[in-house]
Amino acid sequence: MKIIQKIPRRCLLIIFLFIFINIGYGVLAQYVLANNEIPSDFITRSHDLFPVKVQGKWGYIDKIGLLVIDFQYNSARDFSNGLAQITIDKKIGYIDKSGSYVWEPTN
């Protein structure tokens, strides 16, 4: 981990984009391009799914950058005990790791 900390942030971003675009993980590459940053806790995160925002909507990707739950939410939080809070049109709901509603969005 110390090696990564010594590499300039701009170089890491370029390396990261090169790897993910060439391997085909476009979702994570889109996130990086849209936000001009690599999520700081992406590598060390213990969760299975990671909320990311692309073109104004939130969805979830896994640790290798594959899209698991489509971009459809106005906001999305981390999973906790298997559930994540999401909002759609100012309505709050909860989903499981498959993207199924456990609690339908309501006011």
Higher pLDDT, 62 or 43: 62
Q: Is the pLDDT of residue 95 over 90?
A: yes
Alpha carbon distance 21, 27 (integer Å): 9
Assign 3-state DSSP to the chain and report helix, strand, coil percentages, each to 5.
30, 35, 35
Domain tally for the chain?
A: 1
Residue 29 vs residues 2, 34, 91: alpha-carbon distances, Å: 24, 9, 29
pLDDT value of residue 105: 94
- pTM metric for this prediction: 0.62
pLDDT at 53: 84
pLDDT band at 32 (very low <50, low <70, confident <90, very high): low
Structural domain for 56, as ranges: 2-106
Residue 89 has pLDDT above 90, yes or no: yes
Average pLDDT of the chain, as a whole number? 77
